[in-house]
């Protein structure tokens, strides 16, 4: 995870996932659930790397687009940069979904005194997944029938359902 301000919403979404996963790992450790703590730590590490990767991809796409507008860039370079800028948020969706599913499961089966925290983590993860899916959808190279959009949307929907299941436990 980066200490610098994110360049875009994709990095912010990845940072939300990373921070939420760190919290989940700590809560799981406190409850003596080493397996869940390890899973959450892996997600945190993955999301931290994705935050940095998203900043790089977003920056490269922005520079390539500006160069193309000035007549200095090339269409292929722009297409590659935009494709990478769409790929990273799609993977952020997957990491967010993984955390939402894990936290929903532990909200149901884990330490009941920490249920509200697990539900909140599921909800934050679902929001991050939805935000990252929006970034894939608005990428200039993505069409409605593109597999990357389908994948991102599916992860966001699954994360939202997990968060809803977790929230229903609290009622």
| pLDDT tens-digit series, residues 120-142 | 999 999 999 999 999 998 886 77
Q: In whole angstroms, what is the distance from residue 28 CA to residue 103 CA?
A: 10
Domain 9-169, classified CATH 2.40.50.140, yes or no: no
Q: Tell me the two tokens of residue 120.
A: 């909140």
Asked whether the beta carbons of 36 and 111 are under 8 A apart, the reply is no
pLDDT value for 27: 97
pLDDT value for 171: 54
Q: What is the mean pLDDT of residues 78-100?
A: 93
Q: Does pLDDT of 8 surpass 90?
A: no
| pLDDT tens-digit series, residues 9-53 | 999 999 999 999 999 999 999 999 999 999 999 999 999 999 999
Locate the domains of the chain by residue range: 9-169
Predicted structure pTM score:
0.90
Q: Tell me the two tokens of residue 133.
A: 């899916």
- Candidates 144, 107, 143; CA nearest to 122 is 107
Helix (H, G, I), strand (E, B) or coil at 129: helix
């Amino acid at each position: 995870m980066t200490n610098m301000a994110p360049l875009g919403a994709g990095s912010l979404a990845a940072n939300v996932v990373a921070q939420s996963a760190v919290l989940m790992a700590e809560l799981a450790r406190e409850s003596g659930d080493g397996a869940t703590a390890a899973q959450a730590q892996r997600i945190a590490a993955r999301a931290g790397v994705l935050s940095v990767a998203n900043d790089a991809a977003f920056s490269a796409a922005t520079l390539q687009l500006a160069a193309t507008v000035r007549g200095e860039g090339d269409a292929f370079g722009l297409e590659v940069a935009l494709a990478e800028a769409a790929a990273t948020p799609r993977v952020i969706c997957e990491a967010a979904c993984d955390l939402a599913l894990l936290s929903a499961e532990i909200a149901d089966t884990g330490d009941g005194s920490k249920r509200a925290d697990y539900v909140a983590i599921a909800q934050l993860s679902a929001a991050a997944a939805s935000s990252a899916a929006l970034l894939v959808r608005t990428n200039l190279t993505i069409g409605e029938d593109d597999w990357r959009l389908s994948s991102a949307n599916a992860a966001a929907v699954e994360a939202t359902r997990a968060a809803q299941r977790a929230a229903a436990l609290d009622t």
